[in-house]
Chain A
Amino acid sequence: MRLAFVLSEIGSGLRRNLSMVISVILVTFVSLTFVGAAGMLQLQINQMKGYWYDKVQVAIFLCSDGSTAPGCATGPATPEQEDNLRKLLQSPAVAQYVNDFQYESKDDAYKHFKEQFSNSPIVDSVTPDQLPASFRINMKDPEKYEIISETFSSQAGVETVIDQRQLLERLFSAMNAASLVAVSIAGVMIICAILLIATTIRLSAFSRRRETGIMRLVGASKMVIQLPFILEGVIAAVIGAALASGTLWAVAHFFLGEVLSKQYPDTAFISPGQTLMLAPALIGLGVVLAGISSLLTLRRYLRV
C-alpha cells in the first residue's frame, strides 16, 4: 500500500514537472556523456598500450621471413644469433643500462597481438610466422635508448630497434589532454545538473506543499514524505545516465567500429562491449548526484 502510494506520488510529480524533469534528463545526459567520453579515451589508451607498453621501453625486433633490413640479408634470425644477442645483453657493457629483458617468441608475439587486436578484423589474416620474435628491454634509464639502439642495430639477425614510448607517447599525451578537457566540461555540466536537480525538487516540493503539509500533520513518516521527491530526481538522472551510456555505445559501435577501424586497421580500438562497462559507473554517478542534491534541497525546503 505504502509502496503503491509512493509510486503514484512519483508519477504525479513527474507529470506535473515534466519540463523540468526533461531538462534534468538532458543535463545529466550531456554531463555524463562527457564523463563517459573521458573514460572511453582512457580505455582506448590502455587498449593501444598493448601487452608490453608498461613493462618495457625498448624492443629489439629480430629478422623474420619478410624482413628487408640490411642486417637480415641472411634470412630469419637463427638460434645462434639469438644466443649472441642474449649474451650481448648480459654483458657488463650493456647490462649496466638494463634492468631486465625478456624474449618474446613468435608464438608469444602472436598471442599478445591477438589480445590487443581482438576487436579488429586484421587478427584473422595474421599468422605467427609473419610476426617477428623480439627482445623486450626494461631500461634503468629510458633516456639511454640511443645506447641500446647503436649497439644492437648493426648486429646480425636484428631487423630494427624501436623505442616504443617515443612512438606512442605523443598520441597518448594528446588523448590525455582530450580526456582532461572532457572531464572539465563534465565538471561544469555536473554543477549545472546538481543545481537544476535542486531547483526541480524545490519546484516539485512547492507545487505539492498542500499534500506534504497534510502528510506531516497526519503523521506520515519522513521517508514517505521525502522519498517521492528524491526518487523523482534519481529517476530523471538515471534516464540521463542511460542515454549517455547508449550514446557512448553508439560512438564505439558506429564511429570506432565501422569508420575508424577501417581507416586505421593497424590500430587497436576498444569494442562497444567495453564502453558498456562504463554504464554502471555512469548510472551510479547519476544516482549519487541526484540523491545528494535532492537530500540537501529537501533538508531546506521540506521540513518534516
Chain B
Amino acid sequence: MIRFENVTKVYDQKARPALDSINLEIDRGEFAFLVGASGSGKSTFLRLVLKEDRASSGAVYVAGQNVANISSWRVPRLRRGIGVVFQDFRLLPQKTVFANVAFAMQVIGKSRSVIRDTVPEVLKTVGLEGKENRLPHELSGGEQQRVAIARAVVNRPGILLADEPTGNLDPTTSMGIMGVLDKINQNGTTVVMATHDDDIVNEMRKRVVELKNGVVIRDEARALYTSMIPVVGQSRRLRDASGRDEPPAASPRAETRAEARGLRTAGEGQA
C-alpha cells in the first residue's frame, strides 16, 4: 500500500538528510508504528506519503502509484484516499461534532443525503453516538480525537496516517483511541501511526519501524517500543546506520529510552 524505494529527502543541502535512502513497504491492511526521536524523520515520512513534499531522490508509491507522477490537480484525489489524524485534533471550534465530520464530505462534494446517512454511522464506529450536536470544547480530549478520527475515515480512505494521535492524552484515554484505530484497521484500512508512546506500542504488539537520523534502524513485526535485539548488536547497527558522528554509547538501550522520554514532551510543540 505504501512503498518507499531508496527515498532520500534533503531540506537543507548543508545538513544531513531528513530521510536517507529509506526502503520500506507497508502492506494493505497492515498496522505499523513509526517510532524514533524527534527529528528522526517520522513526520517527513508522513509528508512524503501525502505528497506535501517531494522526495529529493527515490520513489514513493502509494496504492501502487508513484506519487511523483501525480499531477498537482490530481493530488486532491490522492489525499482522498488517505485519512490523517494529528496530535492537536485540528477540529473546527465553531462547528458541532456532526458538522466537523460532515465538513470532510461537503468539501469533496458529497450529497446531503449521503452525509446524513454516513456521518452517524462513522460516529458510532468511533464511539460518539449521541454527541452529534456538541461543540468541540464541550468534549474531552479523547472524545475530540475520536471526532478527528471520524473525520479522517468518513470518506473511507485506504490509508490512515496518525501523527502522535495520543500525544495529548492520558494513558487510559490513549488506549481507548488505540481501540478505535485497531477497529478501523480491522475493517481493512492500512494504519501508519507515528508515536513516542512506549506503553501503547508495547501493548499493541504490532509492526514497529524505528527511525533514527533519517535511517530505518529497526523493522520488526509484533515488536516492542524498544528493541529486543541485544544491546551490543544494536550499538553496531546504530553506528552503521547513521554512518558517522555517532558517539559510541555506553548503553544505547538506556540512552534511546531516555531520549524518547525526554523528547516526548519536547516534540509536542512541533507536531
Contact check, B109 vs A214: say whether CB atoms are below 8 A apart. Answer: no
Chain A residues within an 8 Å CB radius of B92: 210-211, 214
Interface residues of B in 93-116 (CB under 8 A from A): 103-104, 106-112
Complex interface: stretch among A84-92, A219-227, A251-259, A269-277: A219-227
B73 partner residues in chain A, CB cutoff 8 A: 221-222
1/0 per residue, CB under 8 A from A, across B64-96: the answer is 000000001101111111111000001010000
A216 contacts B by Cβ under 8 Å: yes
A153 to B82, CA, bound (A): 92
B-chain residues with CB within 8 Å of residue A5 when the two chains form the complex: 106-107, 109
Contact A218 B111 (CB under 8 A): no
Q: Report the bound CA distance from A275 to B84 in whole Å.
A: 56
Q: Are A218 and B112 in contact (CB under 8 A)?
A: no
Expressed in whole angstroms, the Cα–Cα distance for A211 and B91 within the complex equals 9
Give, as a whole number of angstroms, the nearest-CB distance from A101 to chain B: 66
Q: Is A128 an interface residue (CB 8 A)?
A: no
Bound form: Cα–Cα A5–B104 in Å: 12
B90 A218 Cβ-Cβ under 8 A: no
Report the bound CA distance from A221 to B108 in whole Å. Answer: 7
A213 vs B50: C-alpha distance when bound (angstroms): 13
Known A211-B92, A213-B90, A217-B84; judge A1-B110 contact (CB<8 A). Answer: yes
Q: A210-B90, A221-B76 are in contact. Are A2 and B151 (CB under 8 A)?
A: no
Shortest Cβ gap from B246 to chain A (Å): 35
Contact present for B90 and A214 (CB under 8 Å): yes
Q: How far is the CA of A187 from the CA of B165 in the complex (A)?
A: 53
B111 to chain A: closest residue by CB: A1
B84: which A residues are within 8 A, CB to CB?
217
- Give the contacts of A1-55 with B (CB-CB under 8 A): 1-2, 5
Q: Assuming the A-B contacts A5-B107, A214-B103, A224-B107, are A219 and B112 also in contact, with contact meaning beta carbons closer than 8 angstroms in the complex? A: no
Is the CB–CB distance between A220 and B108 below 8 Å? yes
Measured between alpha carbons, how far is A211 from B92 in the docked complex, in Å?
Answer: 7
For B79, what are the chain A residues with a Cβ–Cβ distance below 8 Å? 216-219
Closest 7 interchain pairs by CB? A219-B80, A220-B107, A219-B79, A2-B109, A218-B104, A219-B76, A215-B107
Binding site for A on B (CB under 8 A): 50, 72-73, 75-84, 90, 92, 103-104, 106-112, 151-152, 155
26 inter-chain pairs at a CB distance below 8 angstroms, sorted by A residue, are A1-B112, A5-B106, A5-B107, A211-B103, A213-B90, A214-B92, A214-B103, A214-B104, A215-B107, A217-B79, A217-B84, A218-B79, A218-B103, A218-B151, A219-B79, A219-B81, A219-B82, A219-B108, A220-B108, A221-B76, A222-B72, A222-B73, A224-B107, A224-B108, A225-B107, A304-B76
